Each structure stands twice: as structure tokens, then as C-alpha cells.
Amino acid sequence: MSADLGLLLVGMLGIGFLAQWLAWRVRLPAILFLLLAGILMGPVVGALQPDRLLGPLLFPIVSLAVSLILFEGSLTLRFSELREIGCVVRGLVTYGAVIAVFLLAIAAHYLAGLSWQVALLFGALTCVTGPTVIAPMLRTVRPNARIANTLRWEGIVIDPLGALFAVLVFEAIASHQQGRTVGVFLAVLASGTVVGLVAAWLLAFFLRRQMIPEYLQNYAALVMVLLAFSLSNAITHESGLLTVTIMGIALGNMRDVHIDDILDFKENLTTLLVSSLFILLAARLTWPLPGHVLWSGVAIFVVAQLVVRPLTVAIATVGSALSWRERALIGWVAPRGIVAAAVSAVFALRLGELGMPGAAQLVPLVFLIIIGTVLLQSATARPLARWLKVAEPDPTGVLIYGADAAARQVARALVDAGFRVVIADEQWQGIRLARMEGLTTFYGHPATTYAERHLDLSGIGRLLAMSANRERNALACVYYRQEFGRGRVYRLLVEDTHQAHERTQLGGHLLAPALFDAAMTHERFEERLAEGWTIKSTRLTTTFDWPHFIEQYGSNTVLLFGVEEKGALRIASVKRELEPRPGWLVAALVPPQPLRPSN
């Protein structure tokens, strides 16, 4: 029996990985494949029966997993960002979210017959989107920058705020269902808030004073979150989820607390938990769903898609600079994600224990909203964006990794040629200089989870890895090869390949075509700039073609890129030797010209 149990658990983890990998390959939210995998393993095939498999451990395991998911989500909320995101996003995540909650609750009450209490909880759960579902969809839809920024920031900010609101609604329902007074409910709020703040302060105290070695900080954070969750529940029943949400928000907004490593660890752990949890929860569904649940769920989805979201966006964007076309696309795109699925399951289990009518319908209705929004919007958002004329054309912009002199000079030449350029680097000095030169920058490595959430790739379709670190260049190339395509990722050599020892050369699968020519390295580029070489851009004509350009500036001129008459960008590399033609705009690194004697 134990061997079968172990094999089943490992198989569930393996299927979760395959679902995540498939989502990465086809650029769709992973939640869709995870839910479908759970339905196939559970009610369809019958191989996975969570209640029989875990028994009384099911609810504690789900509760602890959800507490970590909520903590990770709330850890990303920065109050300072609320002031920077603009009035549109503030409207969407504040009064717009409240309007959506009540409209969804009304739909759930009248269409599914849920009590007002459960319907309000349903509205709180399904009003949120999230980065894990928005980011893949934006890469496929490729809307203009204003739409992309609005949707991305909405997902980032509303995730923890929506979770907090859902927890508060649940606490109110649980208190009322158990016959508690308003004072007991306020005690739950007070207990959750105090324990959360104290836990955040204690963890920050140890981190600030470096009382925990770096390799144990993630472990300490994990223990602190689970301890705070369990301790809060022991002090005041049902306050644990509120505690971890408050703890994450408080810790994420404290100054002088380095939480990047903890956040990375929690994101990786959340990926594992979400993959397993969604399969586990979807396997508990009854499939096919009862007719009244299925049709009421479809009706609620239609109302949410065609009425609630457009109306919410219309109200939240009153007086904004967005055009009606941009509002229309924002009003169409609102896929539900992690918070809705995970939190609804633990709430449904708890409400079921309390004997709350309609608790059993909560999870299937939420899952229908998730599946419906992801499927419909993934299939229709890109054509709709094109029809509304708010989609970016084929991406022609360039992401440059590296912010030293060579990268900045190439970036400036590309910007002057009319291309959108973003410079990314984790070295602050180079980023500071790039910003002073008026270039668009991203502070951080472009192949991180933080970059997935915050790096705006609207209109970007190429990568030039030009940092002085060979391994980090290779990482960026491997990461963006899937994003942009193998033929749109390049690297600047860091050392001469003829002189490099074979023991230090990276494998071919880690490499990308070398930029400019085989003799050009990062060090050589920097040296030539220091010697007075400059980047010269010229429009070729029939009377001044490329041979004339070489004749004027010298045979050691290095061609960097060319722009065809129709605007297509051609990057010079060892894989493709360019042959500039009349009408092209060419940019080349040229030596300093000798002073001509005056007449």
C-alpha cells in the first residue's frame, strides 16, 4: 500500500511538472493544464482519490499550502507601488474590485441559488486576476504598452488585496455560522493582524541583524510562516489565513530587509505547491458536473465576462487617458488564477464542516470561471486586439543585457534608428548612466522571476547579450531563445574563441550567434571606444553605397546592424553576414578619422 501511495504521489508531481512545462511551451497559463490533469486523474480515470488517499490529513495539508501561497502573493505588494501605478489601476483594484465583488455575488445568488453569504465569498474569490495567468496571456496578445502595463499591474496588486478581502469575508461568514458575536469577529481580525505583524517584525529583526545565515534564511521564513499560521489558529479559530496575509504585506513593505532570496524561494515553492494542489483539488470534483451546477456556472461566467468586467472597467477608467479601444480590450481580459482556485478549496472544505448550505457548489463554480476565462480569452484576446487596432505589430524592439559603454552606445544607435530598446543589468552603475542618457532601463537580470512580472517586453523581439559576464550572457540567451526564437538571440563574445581553452568553453546548446564578427569581443569593443572609435549611422544611396562607406572609414570598420528600406532590422553576426544595399540605414563602429588639413 505504501509503495502504491508513494508511486501515486510521485506521479502527481511528475504530471504537475509536465503541465507546467506544456504551459511554458505553448505560452498559456499553467493553471489550465493543471486543472485538466486533475480532472483526468480524478473523476475521469479514477486513479487519484484525494479524500481516500489523505483522509484526515487533506484539510491540514491544503490549509498549510494555501497559507504559503497567500504569504508569497502578499509579499509582493508594495504600498509605494500603489502611488505609482496610476489612477486606472488604483480604480480597478479598489472601488472597481468592490463593484465586481457585489456584481458577481448577485449573479451567483440569482443564477446558482447560493445564499448571500456564500455568494459574497464567491464574488470575493473571483474578482481577482494574477501575474501567473496574466503574464503568459500578455505575451501572446501583445497589446500596446498602456494596456499591458495596466493589466500587469492590476494582476500584481489585486492578488494580495483580493486574497485579504476574501479572507475577511470568510471570517465574517464563519463567525456568523457558528453563532459568534460581532465582538468575536473583531477579535479574529485583531488576533490575525497582531500575530501577523509580530511574526513579520521578528523575522525582519533576525534578518536585519544577520542572526540567521543566508543558507538558513529561506528555511527560517518557511518555519515562521507556518508557525504564525498555526499559532494564530490556536489563539483564535480561523484567523491563520489572515495572519499570513498580513505578515507578507508587512514584511514586504519593511525597509532595510533583504527578502529577494526569500521571495525567490517562496516563488519556487509556490510553483510546486500550486502544481500539486490544483491537481489534488481538481481530482475531488464530480465529473461530469451535475446539470444545474454546470449550467449555472456557465451562466455566471457569461455574466462575468460580458457584464461585470466591462462595467467595472468602464467605471474605473472614467476620466482616464485610455481610448475606448484600449478600455474595450482591458474589459475583455481578466483571467482568474491561483488565489481563486486555491483559496476557494480550503474555504469550501471549512464551510462544509460548518454545514453551510451551498459550500459544495463553491469550488466547481470557481473552477468553471477559471477554465472559461482562460480558454475564451486565450483564444480571442489576440484577434480582438488586432481588430481594435491596439495590438503591437510584429515585435521589432531590442532587449540589451548589459549597461556598460559598449551596450549603451549600441542602444543609442538603435534608438536613433527608431527602435524601442530596453537595457537590463543588475549592475546599478551602468543602469544609472543609461538612465542619465535617456535610455529605457530595467534594473535586474532579465531571466528572473522578478523580470517576468516587471520587465515590460511590449514590442520587444530580439536580445543582444552584451554584458562582460559570459555565463550570465548564456543564461539570458537560453531563457529568451524560447521567448523570441533561436534566430533573434545574439551574444557579444567575452573572450577570443580561438584563444579560449576548450575546458572553459560553454556547450553549443548554451550559445547564440556571436555579434558583429568573430574578432569582436566585449573587451575589444570597450577598448576601441576608449581609443576614440564611434558608432556612425548613414543612409546608403546609389552614389554612396557600402563599398564607398568602407573606403571612407577604413577596412577595419565593424558593421553593427542595418535597417532595410521597409524598416526591417538586420543584426550583424557571424551567422549572417550582411550585405547592405542602397536605401539601407547602416550603423558601424568606425575608427577616429584623421584631421584633414585646412586649405
Q: What is the 3-state secondary structure (H, E, C) of 546-573?
A: HHHHHHHHCCCCEEEEEECCCCCEEECE
Looking at the structure, do residues 273 and 406 belong to the same domain, yes or no?
Answer: no
| DSSP type of residue 400 | E
| pLDDT attached to residue 449 | 67
Residue 534, domain extent: 397-590
Cβ atoms of 539 and 567 within 8 Å: the answer is no
Cα dihedral sign, 255-260-265-267: positive
pLDDT in tens, the chain (599 residues): 455 667 777 877 888 888 878 877 776 777 778 878 888 888 887 777 777 777 777 777 777 777 777 777 677 666 665 555 577 888 888 888 889 989 999 999 999 888 888 888 888 888 888 666 777 777 777 787 778 778 877 877 776 667 677 777 877 777 776 665 566 667 777 888 888 899 889 988 888 888 888 778 788 888 888 898 888 888 876 677 778 878 888 887 787 777 666 766 666 666 777 777 778 777 877 777 777 888 888 999 999 999 999 999 999 888 787 888 889 999 998 888 766 777 777 777 777 777 777 777 888 888 888 888 888 888 888 889 889 888 776 677 888 888 888 888 888 888 888 888 888 888 888 888 888 888 888 888 887 767 776 777 777 888 888 888 888 888 888 888 877 777 788 888 886 544 444 444 444 444 677 888 777 888 888 888 888 888 888 888 888 888 888 888 887 888 888 888 777 888 888 777 778 888 888 888 888 876 454 44
Of 353, 387, 421, the last residue of a domain is 387
In a domain, 109, yes or no: yes
| pLDDT attached to residue 588 | 87
Around 461, how many Cα atoms within 13 Å sit in the side-chain half-sphere?
Answer: 15
Looking at the structure, do residues 262 and 323 belong to the same domain, yes or no?
Answer: yes
CATH number at residue 487: 3.40.50.720
Alpha carbon dihedral 156, 161, 167, 171, in 10-degree steps, equals 180
Looking at the structure, do residues 327 and 418 belong to the same domain, yes or no?
Answer: no
Q: Which three cell numbers stand for residue 100?
A: 465586481
| pLDDT attached to residue 60 | 78
Q: What is the 3-state secondary structure (H, E, C) of 242-306?
A: HHHHHHHHHHHCCCCCCCHHHHHHHHHHHHHHHHHHHHHHHCCCCCCCCHHHHHHHHHHHHHHHH
Helix or strand or coil: residue 582? coil
Looking at the structure, do residues 489 and 570 belong to the same domain, yes or no?
Answer: yes
Tell me how far apart the alpha carbons of residues 94 and 100 are, in angstroms, rounded to a whole number. Answer: 10
Of 387, 406, 422, the last residue of a domain is 387
Long-range contacts of 357-363 (CB under 8 A, 24+ apart): 357/115, 357/118, 358/112, 358/113, 358/114, 358/115, 358/118, 359/118, 361/112, 361/114, 361/118, 361/293, 362/114, 362/118, 362/121, 362/122, 362/125, 363/281, 363/284, 363/285
| pLDDT attached to residue 90 | 81
Looking at the structure, do residues 371 and 404 belong to the same domain, yes or no?
Answer: no
Helix or strand or coil: residue 240? helix
Q: Which three cell numbers stand for residue 509?
A: 546548446
Give me the number of domains the chain comprises.
Answer: 2
Q: Which three cell numbers stand for residue 549?
A: 562607406
| pLDDT attached to residue 217 | 79
Looking at the structure, do residues 378 and 403 belong to the same domain, yes or no?
Answer: no
Q: What is the 3-state secondary structure (H, E, C) of 506-541?
A: CCHHHCCCEECCCCCEHHHHHHHHHCCCEEEEEECC
| pLDDT attached to residue 261 | 66
- Indicate the pairing of strand 585-590 with strand 558-563: antiparallel
Q: In what order do the strands lie in the sheet with 489-491?
A: 440-443, 421-425, 397-401, 460-465, 489-491
In a domain, 392, yes or no: no
| pLDDT attached to residue 373 | 87
Give the DSSP per-residue string, 48-106: --HHHHHGGGHHHHHHHHHHHHHHHHHHT--HHHHHHSHHHHHHHHTHHHHHHHHHHHH
For residue 14, give the H/E element and its range.
Answer: helix 2-26
| pLDDT attached to residue 507 | 46
Looking at the structure, do residues 303 and 189 belong to the same domain, yes or no?
Answer: yes
In a domain, 319, yes or no: yes
Q: What is the 3-state secondary structure (H, E, C) of 307-365?
A: HHHHHHHHHHCCCCCCCHHHHHHHHHCCCCCHHHHHHHHHHHHHHHHCCCCCHHHHHHH
For residue 423, give the H/E element and its range.
Answer: strand 421-425
| pLDDT attached to residue 312 | 93
Residue partners of 279: CB distance under 8 A and separation at least 6 = 12, 15, 16, 19, 34, 37, 38, 41, 48
Looking at the structure, do residues 37 and 124 belong to the same domain, yes or no?
Answer: yes
Looking at the structure, do residues 426 and 348 belong to the same domain, yes or no?
Answer: no
CATH number at residue 136: 1.20.1530.20
Of 387, 421, 451, the last residue of a domain is 387
Looking at the structure, do residues 204 and 327 belong to the same domain, yes or no?
Answer: yes
